[in-house]
Chain A
Amino acid sequence: MSTETGRESRRSGALVSVMRWMENLSDTQYAYLLLIPVFVLLGVVALYPLLRTFELSLFAISADFSSTNFVGAGNYVELFTGGKNRYLPGGTTFLPEGFGLGALLNSALVVTIIFAVTSVLFETLIGLGQALILDQDFYGRRWIRAAIIIPWAVPVVIQGIIFFLMFNSNVGFLTPPLADLGLLAPTNTLNDTASATFIIIVADIWKTSAFMALLILAGLQSIDRGLYDVAKVAGATKWQQFKLITFPLILPTIGVAVLFRSVQAMRVYGIIDTVSSCTVVPSLSCMVVATFTTREGTSAAIAFVTAAIIGIVVMGLIAWQGEDAI
């Protein structure tokens, strides 16, 4: 590989000349050369599909399935006016058709937003609790931390199976006690939209709180411990220490963590597919998967709207958090 000695540099192999050419590139040229694999991979697997999805969303299949016609924004207009609802599985609608709980939970858009907001809210609270525990020094901390991280590393399909088995009508033991409390439907629980949504949110909280906890823990551990000594001398209680030192200092970290999780939560698909089904708990990703083999245009329009909503969420949170979020 080395080209330092005269003997080797006289060698005229292709490899040597490529190496010599590389040595003489400017920093900028070299940077872009090394980035080519990234560009190719992301171009083929992300950028091309994204553009193509947008292109597909502008076309609709004709009534006799023989040809596709350019309809412009037609798919989007129909999606938001309810014209596409007949193609969605299980009587799902895109926008809610009313403001009752049933109508709201029948709308793919509302279910996705409810799922994202509720699960991220509880994950942040529980993650904060877990992070405060892990921030302490105690014997066996390593093992407790491993135990708390494990749910995060569980494959989505196994997470789904666990909650399917817990609430299934045949073997699930948790349905009767929770049905007595009025939280779940007593029979056919996993086919009841409200109950299944509840279970899926709980399943997501179980799995992803640890992720929040780790991010918040990083924020906690960057706090200068001297601040607490000062607070102790000043006679501050534990609650005052938390409210006046810990919380303001970890707020930016929490902001980034919430941004990250919200984006992931909006994609929810696997847990719904394993615990219940897309016809019972409609999410946006579910609708894309359910329609993409038969109604490309509709499916592409939903996919693009999902991406746009995530984009808006990201922009909103970045605007709220300022530059810290990036």
Chain B
Amino acid sequence: MATPTDTQEQSSDGPLQRWTQSAIQNPDKVYRALFYAAMVFFLVTTLFPFYWLIVLAVTPEGNLLSGSFLPTVNLFGVSGTFPLPVPKGFNPGAFVTVFEQVPFHLYMLNSFALAVTTTVIVLFVASLAGYVFGRLRFPGRALLMLGILAISYFPPAAFVIPLFQAFAGNAPITIPFTSIPLFTPPRLLNTPGSMVLPFSALFMPLSIFILTTFYGQIPDGLEDAARVEGTTRLGALFRVIMPLSAPGVATAAVLTFIAVYNEYFFSSIMATSPEAAKWSPIVGGILSYQTQYTTQYNLMAAASIVGVLPVVILVIVAQERIVSGLTSGALKE
């Protein structure tokens, strides 16, 4: 970059020099430039991996292993490596093969069904709890909230062994530390139950805290008015408080849906075989392009793009809800 003395000496300065000089007189311009540089940097780093998926997905299968994705370019006699990977050929057929080879749409449907079921359960149970914690004063309130928070801190690994045994349905469940049998659970492995149950417990604390915040903000007068009008206690919750807190409910719903759709731990363990008919979600679907003998890189990339589209759309549509939910839920805890 040009130094200030340079710019003063040369009257025929280029645009860069002119900019530098004005920047020295006005430091805000430098901050502005730094700001845009940082913004572009963050945009490139967050979006580049998706670009790479597209590059791989449209590269014809035959060209995948030959040559480099970083082409050598010859610019004015200087040859160098182009810093960005480019597709080796163009064949969007992978986006069709993805569904032909493996029923990927069925895996996605499974993921959707699991996410929607969990969201409905979580919203119902967390609404009751959010009402209690947000609007009622009773002994043990703080202790119970702390208990729920503590449970949300435990790693899924601390739950998985007994849950797997219970869902296998081979032996009766006994009261811990005794051998008194309670009942023999049905075999739930490879069914939605074995995933929806742990998901609901795992993701409920966040929804409880979000809804506690939102339900607590509704003025008491509105609930009292509804009660005077003759609504039952539960009616006041579901007909007055919940509709008035619609943004909060939507926030909890979006976050729960995304959390279930993204979950890996229980999704990969409770669906013991990666078959769509056995309720395996996208985890099983995407990994089935990688077998012991072949790995179809372009199909994996295409499946990943298809699998990520629902959440990308959800983020773009519901980003306000996500932002407010993460902050109110996580920070108020």
Contacts and interface: CB of A to CB of B under 8 A. Distances in A.
Partners in one complex: yes
A168 interface: yes
A31 B326 contact: no
B283 A157 contact: yes
Which of A28, A46, A306, A326 is most buried by chain B, counting CB atoms within 10 A of its CB? A46
16 contacts: A35-B132, A46-B159, A52-B161, A148-B43, A150-B50, A154-B262, A155-B263, A164-B300, A173-B68, A219-B331, A238-B31, A267-B265, A270-B264, A289-B160, A299-B161, A300-B161
Contact of B327 (A41, A164, A214): A214
A299 B10 CA distance: 74
B314 interface: yes
B204 A157 contact: no
Contact of A30 (B45, B53, B136): B136
Interface in A272-326: 273-274, 284-285, 288-289, 292, 296, 299-300, 302-304, 306-307, 310-311, 314, 326
B291 to A, nearest CB: 15
A178 interface: no
A210 B286 contact: no
Contacts of B153: 263, 310-311, 314
B154 A158 contact: no
Contacts of B50: 150, 162
Given A158-B308, A292-B161, A136 B262 contact: no
Contacts of B319: 142, 145-146, 149
Contacts of B311: 150, 153-155
B164 A156 contact: no
A266 interface: yes
Interface string B119-130: 000001110110
Interface stretch (A1-9, A76-84, A93-101, A223-231): A1-9
Given A55-B176, A153-B315, A289-B160, 7 more contacts: A31-B138, A48-B162, A55-B177, A148-B46, A165-B53, A170-B64, A310-B154
Contacts of A151: 46, 49
A142 B176 CA distance: 51
B286 A157 contact: yes
B23 interface: no
Interface residues of B, number: 98
Interface in B267-313: 268-269, 282-283, 286-287, 295, 297, 300-301, 304, 307-308, 311-312
A188 B264 CA distance: 25
Give chain A's interface secondary structure class: helix
A1 B330 contact: no
A211 interface: yes
A31 B136 CA distance: 7
Interface string B312-323: 101110010011
Interface string A235-258: 000100000000000000100110
A129 interface: yes
Interface of B: 31, 35, 38-39, 42-43, 45-47, 49-50, 52-53, 56, 64-65, 68-70, 85, 124-126, 128-129, 131-132, 136-139, 141, 144, 146, 148-149, 151, 153-164, 166, 173, 176-177, 197-198, 200-202, 204, 208, 230-235, 258, 261-265, 268-269, 282-283, 286-287, 295, 297, 300-301, 304, 307-308, 311-312, 314-316, 319, 322-323, 326-327, 330-331, 333
Given A214-B323, A215-B331, A289 B128 contact: no
Given A284-B157, A326-B149, A150 B315 contact: yes
A256 B138 contact: no
Given A158-B304, A256-B330, A45 B315 contact: no
Which of A3, A154, A285 is most buried by chain B, counting CB atoms within 10 A of its CB? A154
